[in-house]
Amino acid sequence: MSTAKHARRTATVVFATLILLATALVSTAGTASAHGSAIGPESRNYGCWKRWGSDFQNPAMATQDPMCWQAWQADSTAMWNWNSLYRDNVGGDHQGQVPDGQLCSGGQTGGTRYAALDNPGNWRAANLSTSFTWRMHDQALHGADYIRIYVTRQGYNPLTQRLRWADLELRHDTGRILPGVGTRETDPVLNGVTISANVTAPAGADGTSCTRSGRPATPTRTTTSAATSTSVAYRTRPRRRRPPRRPRRPRPPRLRPAPRRPARPRRPRRRRVAAAARCRTRSWASGTVASRPTCG
């Protein structure tokens, strides 16, 4: 979960999202996996990865984008795994499982990997009007039981305060989104579908919008996932179990061929030819016309 953007008219709206996933139960329950992030406005770790992923060792980041710099220094895998920030098995108790001050890290899911995303400071923000389109990329095409989008209340200051549940005001509920519903992106990295929602912030709002998922109607295992500070309820497809592979028969060891004996050298035929020539010479030299050579 990570906060992400400012919307300014007369006041500032900082957009953050807290993603909560409600995963459908299957007979063979596997590990729930949520892949995605808010991309417009961007989540904190997705924005840091997008801006600095190809140049993350550039010291200029420390002055140009200081909050991203501290996040990269704390744990770079928070950016490389921008699409895997989620908290599993919350059982619908999102506020209990994701405590105040840890909304952007999903309750510090994965240990301290995403902890730096909770730190207040001058996070890069996008200028938005009070009516804006929120976009989230559903990389694994899970769909969602619902997505609830929140905006922070008047008085919240992202420069000095960690995000709390009391700072949030619900502004939109998408209802159920079927798996695979959304639009395709031209960016090859975003190889899933993008879900969009139109959001209106209250006039003079000052703070962060977040979404969180509620409890779906069907029995589910709830997963809390943070991509920005948006909350979403996902439904994953059951994993297919592959039949066990048959053990391979051991191959017999290869036998080395016995060394060949060297071939016997053939007798030179030069002597026989010479002997026959001598015999013919002697035979015809005897003066008998009918005589033949006696040597072979």
Q: DSSP letter string over 128-152?
A: --SEEEEEEEETT---BSEEEEEEE
Burial of 255 (0-12, 13-18, 19+ CB in 10 A): exposed
pTM score of the predicted model:
0.63
pLDDT at 261 over 80: no
Read off the pLDDT of residues 135-164 as tens digits, 9 standing for 90 and up.
999 998 988 888 889 888 888 999 999 999
192 pLDDT tier (thresholds 50, 70, 90) = very high
What is the reported pLDDT for 114?
A: 95
Measured CA to CA, the distance from residue 222 to residue 216 in angstroms comes to 9
pLDDT at 182 over 80: yes
CATH of 30-233, one of 2.40.30.40, 3.20.20.210, 3.30.70.1400, 2.70.50.50: 2.70.50.50
Pick from 70-84, 127-141, 178-192, 234-248: least confident: 234-248
Q: Which helix (H) or strand (E) holds 169?
A: strand 168-173
- Which token pair is 13? 């709206």
Please state the rounded mean pLDDT for residues 106-116: 91
The residues that bridge with 169 in the sheet, in sequence order, are 151
What is the reported pLDDT for 4?
A: 37
Please state the rounded mean pLDDT for residues 216-233: 39
Task: Let me know how long the chain is.
Answer: 296
Q: What is the mean pLDDT of the chain?
A: 74
Pick from 18-32, 225-239, 266-280: least confident: 18-32
Closest CA to 91 of 152, 25, 155: 25
Please state the rounded mean pLDDT for residues 275-281: 53
Please state the rounded mean pLDDT for residues 85-99: 83
Please state the rounded mean pLDDT for residues 191-216: 67
* Beta-carbon contacts of residue 182 (< 8 Å; ≥ 6 apart): 138, 141, 192, 193, 194, 195, 196
What is the reported pLDDT for 120?
A: 96
Q: Please check whether residue 43 is in contact with residue 83, taking contact to mean a CB–CB distance below 8 angstroms.
A: no
- Which token pair is 28? 């063979």
Indicate the domain borders of the chain.
30-233
